[in-house]
Amino acid sequence: MGRRHPGTPTLEEVAARAGVGRGTVSRVINNAAGVKESTRQAVRRAIAELGYVPNLAARSLAGRRADAVALVMTEPDWRLFAEPFFSGIVPAIGDALADTGPQLLLTLVRSGADRQRFVEYARGGRVDGVLLMSVHADDPLPDMLAEARLPTVLLGRRSGDEHLSYVDADNVGGARGAVAHLLATGRRSIATITGPLDMYVAQCRLRGYREALAQAGLDARPSWVAEGDFSEESGRRAMARLLRRHPEIDGVLAASDTTAAGALVTLRAAGRRVPEDVAVIGFDDFPLAQRTEPRLATVRQPLEDMGRTMVQLLLQEIEESSVAWRHVILRTELVLRESA
């Protein structure tokens, strides 16, 4: 095994190490015909010894494509990948890509080192574009990809000022409509269990809750807000905190269906009837919402449309890198069931 070359090795250095011209190296990188197998092996050996990463820009000038798209999940906690949101959006994206040609590569990025490795991998021409999921407010990965000139589309956004292309649901309007329904059915002591508040999606759902209360002339006091992380366990714990603070609670908006399912468990253990004593509304409309007891009222996100739109925007950016960034917000729908 050869020693890795310090710094960033060039195409010329690979050619010199292999004893061939740079054109031969390019043909090997692009899997072009007309290169002897022994020469091909020598070039590949030189690439491995030097740690050379083919340049995406150079390949694109030659009209070469990787015919692959990376779906990147940026979430430090492995357990969250078992949540229904991920198992719902991944097939939607896969189905949208199925008839278009590119291979879908699923990548997990959980640390700074993972980010750097992925950007280097993507810049090496191994993917034509990136779909990003679960981005937190301070995540630098979208900017790293933008600086590398890699077509990128986000599911959701880091803030209201997001400049990259993204597809999102109307989280503010969905939450506002859900709380308005609770108010219209006579609930007045309404709490909310949020998602992680370093995520813009959770901030938006909290904002919708507050806006609905304000429109009804009610104060959204901090003690009526309990932070969760979209998981069922966090819903159980948050609901217990809210019951201790406010035994008079009669309505709850949970930031996800899994969180709402956890809240239902705690309410049942506390002897509270749903919806007679406490009405509960979730968010997402996963299959889980029809398996809870009672069945869960929820705000439906159009996951299939979101996945399909993400793919459409990304393919447009791959075809035309100068295309304007697109910001698409899709409508939500309140789905009423027995819990509210």
Look at phi and psi of residue 332 and say left if phi exceeds 0, alpha if psi is from -120 to 50, else beta.
Answer: beta
- pTM of the shown model: 0.78
pLDDT for 311 equals 93
> How many CB atoms lie under 10 A from the CB of residue 199?
22
The amino acid at 121:
Y
| Residue 62 domain-assigned (yes or no) | no
CA quadruple 241, 244, 245, 250: dihedral sign: positive
| Residue 120 domain-assigned (yes or no) | yes
Element (H, E) at 284: strand 279-284
| Residue 108 domain-assigned (yes or no) | yes
Residues 102 and 216 placed together within one structural domain of the fold: no
| Residue 6 domain-assigned (yes or no) | no
Question: CATH code at 46?
Answer: 1.10.260.40
Residues 209 and 187 placed together within one structural domain of the fold: yes
Question: CATH code at 158?
Answer: 3.40.50.2300
Residues 18 and 136 placed together within one structural domain of the fold: no
* pLDDT tens-place string over residues 178-192: 999 999 999 999 999
| Residue 321 domain-assigned (yes or no) | yes
Residues 141 and 175 placed together within one structural domain of the fold: no
Residues 94 and 198 placed together within one structural domain of the fold: no
Which residue carries 């069931």 as its tokens? 337
* pLDDT tens-place string over residues 62-119: 455 778 999 998 876 656 566 677 778 888 898 888 877 788 998 888 888 999 999 9
Q: What is the 3-state secondary structure (H, E, C) of the chain?
A: CCCCCCCCCCHHHHHHHHCCCHHHHHHHHCCCCCCCHHHHHHHHHHHHHHCCCCCHHHHHHCCCCCCEEEEEECCCCHHHHHCHHHHHHHHHHHHHHHCCCCEEEEEECCCHHHHHHHHHHHHHHHCCEEEEECCCCCCCHHHHHHHCCCCEEEECCCCCCCCCEEEEECHHHHHHHHHHHHHHCCCCCEEEEECCCCCHHHHHHHHHHHHHHHHCCCCCCHHHEEECCCCHHHHHHHHHHHHHHCCCCCEEEECCHHHHHHHHHHHHHCCCCCCCCCEEEEEECCHHHHCCCCCCEEEECCHHHHHHHHHHHHHHHHHCCCCCCCEEEECCEEECCCCC
Q: Which residues, including other chains, have CB under 8 Å from residue 207's CB and lie 6 or more apart?
A: 172, 175
Q: Which residue range(s) make up the domain with 33? A: 11-52
Residues of the chain with pLDDT under 70: 1-8, 30-33, 54-64, 76-83
pLDDT for 9 equals 76
Element (H, E) at 12: helix 11-18
| Residue 222 domain-assigned (yes or no) | yes
Q: Total structural domains in the chain?
A: 3
* Cis ω before 275 (30° cut-off from 0): yes
